Each structure stands twice: as C-alpha cells, then as structure tokens.
C-alpha cells in the first residue's frame, strides 16, 4: 500500500523537550515538505527537500530542524527554541521538483503541555 | 506567485452544484491555478489544476475566465463528504517551489 506515513497521529510533550516527528513515503518521490497548521489557518511551510542530503528553509523554519539522509524519510525535530510548538504538522511529497502534484500525509497533532 | 482571494465560507445543499470562486487578478502567463481541499484533521487532497482551458476530472470541473483573473471550482453534485476547506493556489512554472496555502473557503454541505 503506497503512500505517506506520519506517526504518531497525536503526540504530547512537556515544554522544553525536543520532539521528532516522523514522515516516511514509499512512493519513490524525490521532494518532501513539512508544513504547520494552526487552528483556522492555512498551511505554512517549515522546511522542504528536493533531493537527498539537501533541504531549504521555508517561511517559519526558526525552532525546527530536519534531515534527509534517505529518500523515503524526512524527519522534523521541534526544538525547545520553538516558542509555540502546539500545532498540526503535515508532511507532503512529490515525484520531483517539476511535478505538479504534492501528496500529503495524515498529519501529526502535537500538543506541548 | 500571485495572491488569491476566496470567500471565507459557503454553504451548499446536498445534491446541488457547489461553485467555489477564486480571484487571482495578478496572475501571470506562466502561473497555473491549483485546487486542493482539506477535510477536518486530515492532510490536503489534490483536486484539479489548469492554465487557461477549462478542466474536468472525476472530482470536479475548473472554469478559468478568458482573462485568467478568476476561476471557479465546480463540484457538480455535492455530498456531505465534500464538506471541507477548499484552497485555490496559484503556482508558477517551473513547479520547483512548494505550494503556498492561504486560508481557503470553508464549504459546508447541508442535508
């Protein structure tokens, strides 16, 4: 069954702790993306990667870090420097940087207590 | 990429056509119009995209005005499962930049 997997669906952490969100895809897509969504708002881009071992900051990268060591995986770490980390996090991928369609995972809802 | 303007919310009766407007008056020649939708607490889903001709697929139709300054997404027979936030996005070719989402239109399909 092909697709994008994000786990877990719900995640709770204490303030001051780093947390890593998982994103895996078996679609053989080159490009992967992380977005953040706050209640009632659209999606905002955190980081994206067009090829393995390369990534670029999006509009709201401060307080986040990523790695892209494997084509199928693009984990996002929410660090303690992120002032307001509670949000819905969405991962997406597409076949390549010149491909028209981005496919999204189901999302992880992070709550920092 | 050009900005888009969408109404914040719309209602539609079940079984009727839902017509969702989008204004993109500053669109340029190499910019495409994309539509995605997001059902509550799920990831966005691609619907359709077009450049200047009208497009139709199994989900919807996209009507782009001749001057390309606005477009309409049409769901021909809306069902309760079509209740979602619909995003109109303008995207420049080449598509080597990520999608940029606005706030979209919240469509409520009513029984």
pLDDT tens-place string over residues A35-88: 999 988 889 999 999 999 999 999 999 999 999 999 999 999 999 888 899 999
pLDDT at A2: 63
Sign, CA dihedral B13-B19-B23-B24, equals positive
* Residue corresponding to tokens 């059902």: B39
Residues in chain A: 113
Do B88 and B6 contact (CB within 8 A), yes or no? yes
> Could you tell me which chain B residue has the CA closest to the CA of A58?
B98
DSSP B53-102: S-EE-SS-EEEE-TTSSEEEEEETT--GGG-EEEEEEEEESS--S-----
Per-residue pLDDT tens over the stretch B60-104: 999 999 999 999 999 999 999 999 999 999 988 777 778 889 999
Mean local confidence (pLDDT), A13-29: 93
- C-alpha separations of B28 from A99, B2, B32 in Å: 19, 7, 9
A23, containing H or E segment: strand A19-25
Best residue in A102, A106, A108, A111 for a mutation probing chain B (most B CBs within 10 Å): A102
Do B105 and B9 contact (CB within 8 A), yes or no? yes
Do A5 and A21 contact (CB within 8 A), yes or no? no
* Residue corresponding to tokens 């209602």: B11
A29 φψ region: left (φ > 0), alpha (ψ -120 to 50), beta (else): beta
Mean local confidence (pLDDT), A17-29: 94
Per-residue pLDDT tens over the stretch B4-55: 999 999 999 999 999 999 999 999 988 999 999 999 989 999 999 999 989 9
For residues A44 and B54, give the distance between their C-alpha atoms in angstroms, rounded to a whole number. 29
Best residue in B8, B35, B43, B93 for a mutation probing chain A (most A CBs within 10 Å): B43
């Amino acid at each position: 069954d092909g697709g994008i997997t994000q786990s877990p669906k719900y995640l709770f952490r204490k303030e001051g702790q780093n947390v890593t969100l998982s994103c895996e895809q078996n679609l053989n897509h080159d490009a992967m993306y992380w977005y953040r969504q706050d209640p009632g708002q659209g999606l905002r881009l955190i980081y994206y990667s067009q090829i393995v071992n390369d990534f670029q900051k999006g509009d709201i990268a401060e307080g986040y870090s990523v790695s892209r060591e494997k084509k199928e995986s693009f984990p996002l770490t929410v660090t303690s420097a992120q002032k307001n980390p509670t949000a819905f996090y969405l991962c997406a991928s597409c076949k390549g940087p010149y491909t028209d369609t981005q496919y999204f995972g189901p999302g992880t809802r992070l709550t920092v207590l | 990429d050009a900005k888009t303007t969408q109404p914040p919310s719309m209602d539609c009766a079940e079984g009727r056509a839902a017509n969702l407007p989008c204004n993109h008056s500053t669109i340029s020649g190499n910019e495409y119009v994309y539509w995605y939708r997001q059902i509550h607490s799920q990831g966005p889903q691609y619907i359709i995209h077009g450049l200047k001709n009208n497009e139709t697929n199994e989900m919807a139709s996209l009507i782009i005005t001749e001057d390309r300054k606005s477009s309409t997404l049409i769901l021909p027979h809306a069902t309760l499962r079509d209740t979602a936030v619909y995003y109109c996005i303008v995207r420049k070719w080449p598509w080597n930049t990520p999608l940029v989402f606005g706030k979209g239109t919240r469509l409520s399909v009513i029984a």
